[in-house]
Amino acid sequence: MKYDRVYNFSAGPSMLPVEVLESVRDNMLNYEGSGMSVMEMSHRSKVYEKIIGEAEANLRDLMGIPENYKVMFVQGGATLQFAMLPMNLMKNNVADYIVTGAWSNKAYAEAKKYGKINLIASSKDKNYSYIPDVSDLPISEDADYVYICENETIHGTTFRDLPNTKGKILVADQSSMFLSKPVNVADYGVIYGGVQKNVGPAGLSIVIMREDLITDQLPEYVPTYMSYKIHADNDSMYNTPNCWAIYVCGEVFKYLKKIGGLEEMNRRNEEKAKVLYDFLDASSMFNGTVEKQFRSLMNVPFVTESAELDAEVVAATKAAGFDNLKGHRSVGGLRASIYNAMPKEGVEALVDFLKDFEAKH
């Protein structure tokens, strides 16, 4: 591969498009004639205002974000949002959580610090290898919101249909599927994600929130920084934002528009994931761990018959230039994260390698 890069199957931080990295490199020392790097410029400067303004406009365009939704660039990872969401959205102090894997479980545990949290569905009984039926759940009458992690990065599941929230607000962690396909923003009260899976460098979350949910009627204890109203009213500039990460995300948004937007991205992602899933379905050595209809297009966990053989495969792939394929300890085996920036050739090369490995064993 160009620049001696490896095919990096990391779950995050993960690959970025080479074209974006090249553009960032070319502008590193002197961003578009400003005489300085984006890392060195004031967030209040005209140049930077244009960077963040265009990033938001392009994101709105890509996702078709309606006028009555705010876009906020908030520092910290998605993990900070696990606390910030209940702090800001609770009015009755009640929320309903659907737990389908490690990330929704973490969000659920954190939310419990701030109110009465009901676990209304879970797929723990089969080690989170499927998505429960969410068409008719016992939604609490006084729930302030219903929470999901729409794509579970570790367990490799994804929602096919959104839950029927019976009129309650839906909040979705989309960290590991952000901008991988078109979504209908109006179906949600809040969509948020850490950007380091699919869109940019770590240390930034993008929060897309319906305006009427943003309030300053918050409990006394809520830190100023953790009020969405503060971020919304100040256009993500209440304090110094993560200027660099926002800039790189903005370059990724431009790139996605250039290739044809999220419809095209989704088409490529489906085509790419099919290569790997078709192989797993045909293989007698490697097996996917997720029920077919809930398989993620982004994170693909799979196992062999033993932990020893798993480890052997991981070592062999690494030696052959495929990096970060070791599965998370809670699932074991291997996991290939094949986000937007992973080229189809990367997945094809991996499948060729695994076929060969299987044939030799």
Residue range at the interface with ligand PLP (CB under 6 A); choices 173-181, 254-262, 286-294, 314-322: 173-181
The residue from 56, 173, 251, 310 that contacts ligand PLP (CB under 6 A) is 173
Spot the catalytic one: 70, 168, 181, 197: 197
- The number of beta carbons lying within 10 Å of the beta carbon of residue 40 is 11
Helix (H) or strand (E) holding 88: helix 78-89
Closest distance of CB 73 from ligand PLP, Å: 13
Q: Does 268 bind ligand PLP (CB under 6 A)?
A: no
CB nearer ligand PLP, residue 13 or residue 261 = 13
Closest distance of CB 282 from ligand PLP, Å: 29
Considering only residues 2-31, where is the footprint of ligand PLP by CB under 6 A?
A: 12
Closest distance of CB 345 from ligand PLP, Å: 25
Spot the catalytic one: 168, 173, 272, 310: 173
CB nearer ligand PLP, residue 326 or residue 354 = 326
Q: Does 155 bind ligand PLP (CB under 6 A)?
A: no
CA neighbor of 327 nearest in space, from 287, 279, 278: 287
Q: Does 332 bind ligand PLP (CB under 6 A)?
A: no
Q: Does 153 bind ligand PLP (CB under 6 A)?
A: yes
The residue from 7, 9, 48, 103 that contacts ligand PLP (CB under 6 A) is 103
Is 244 an active-site residue?
Answer: no
Residue range at the interface with ligand PLP (CB under 6 A); choices 74-82, 257-265, 324-332, 349-357: 74-82
Q: Does 149 bind ligand PLP (CB under 6 A)?
A: yes
CA distance 106 to 97: 11
DSSP-derived 3-state class of residue 294: helix
CB nearer ligand PLP, residue 107 or residue 262 = 107
Closest distance of CB 70 from ligand PLP, Å: 20
Q: Does 175 bind ligand PLP (CB under 6 A)?
A: yes
Q: Hey, which residues does 149 pair with through a beta bridge?
A: 173
Listed in sequence order, the residues at least 6 apart from 35 whose beta carbon sits closer than 8 Å to its beta carbon are none
Residue range at the interface with ligand PLP (CB under 6 A); choices 1-9, 38-46, 155-163, 172-180: 172-180
Largest CA distance in the chain: 64
Spot the catalytic one: 103, 168, 181, 326: 103
Is 103 an active-site residue?
Answer: yes
CA distance 165 to 98: 11
Q: Name residue 204's amino acid.
A: L
Cβ atoms of 111 and 97 closer than 8 Å:
yes
CA distance 257 to 129: 34
CA neighbor of 337 nearest in space, from 155, 103, 149: 155
Q: Does 180 bind ligand PLP (CB under 6 A)?
A: no
Closest distance of CB 11 from ligand PLP, Å: 7
Is 173 an active-site residue?
Answer: yes
Bond before 13 cis per omega within 30 degrees: yes
Q: Does 77 bind ligand PLP (CB under 6 A)?
A: yes
Q: Hey, which residues does 95 pair with through a beta bridge?
A: 117
CA distance 61 to 49: 18
> 98 φ, ψ to 5°?
-110, 120
CA distance 141 to 238: 36
Q: Hey, which residues does 218 pair with through a beta bridge?
A: none
Q: Does 301 bind ligand PLP (CB under 6 A)?
A: no
Closest distance of CB 75 from ligand PLP, Å: 10
Closest distance of CB 260 from ligand PLP, Å: 25
43-82: b (≥16 Cβ within 10 Å) or e: beeeebeebbeebbebbbebbebeeebbbbbbbbbbebbb
Q: Which residues bind ligand PLP (CB under 6 A)?
A: 12, 77-79, 103, 149, 153, 173, 175-176, 194, 197
Catalytic residues: 103, 173, 197
